């Protein structure tokens, strides 16, 4: 937990019981969607949940072609099987 006068950051690595303080903001970054739904259902009504998945997917799609083009240009520039290995 990171704690200062304005913010508290809780990082949970395990699937233990998650208790979110009232008036907190939650960015759930896990892969267990059923756990997310359970946490959201049990949280106090003042807890705000942000879903960043659509934004993340947008940026992944936006950056995919430039990344592939960049890797392709490195392949042409280095023109060596050793570069790929």
- pLDDT, tens only, 31-40: 788 888 888 8
Domain ranges of the chain: 20-51, 52-85
Q: φ and ψ at 9, to 5 degrees?
A: -115, 120
Chain centroid to Cα 55, Å, comes to 10
Flag whether the pTM goes above 0.85. no
Do the bridges between strand 8-9 and strand 48-49 make them parallel or antiparallel, or are there none, so unpaired? Answer: unpaired
pLDDT digits (tens, 9 = 90+) for 15-67: 666 777 888 888 877 778 888 888 888 888 888 888 777 888 899 999 999 99
């Amino acid at each position: 937990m990171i704690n200062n006068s304005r913010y508290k950051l809780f990082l949970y690595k395990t699937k233990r019981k998650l208790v979110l303080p009232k008036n907190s903001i939650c960015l759930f970054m896990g892969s267990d969607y059923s756990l997310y739904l359970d946490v959201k259902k049990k949280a106090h009504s003042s807890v705000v949940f942000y879903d960043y998945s659509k934004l993340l997917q947008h940026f992944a799609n936006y950056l995919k072609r430039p990344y592939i083009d960049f890797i392709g240009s490195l392949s042409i520039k280095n023109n060596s099987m050793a570069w790929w290995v």
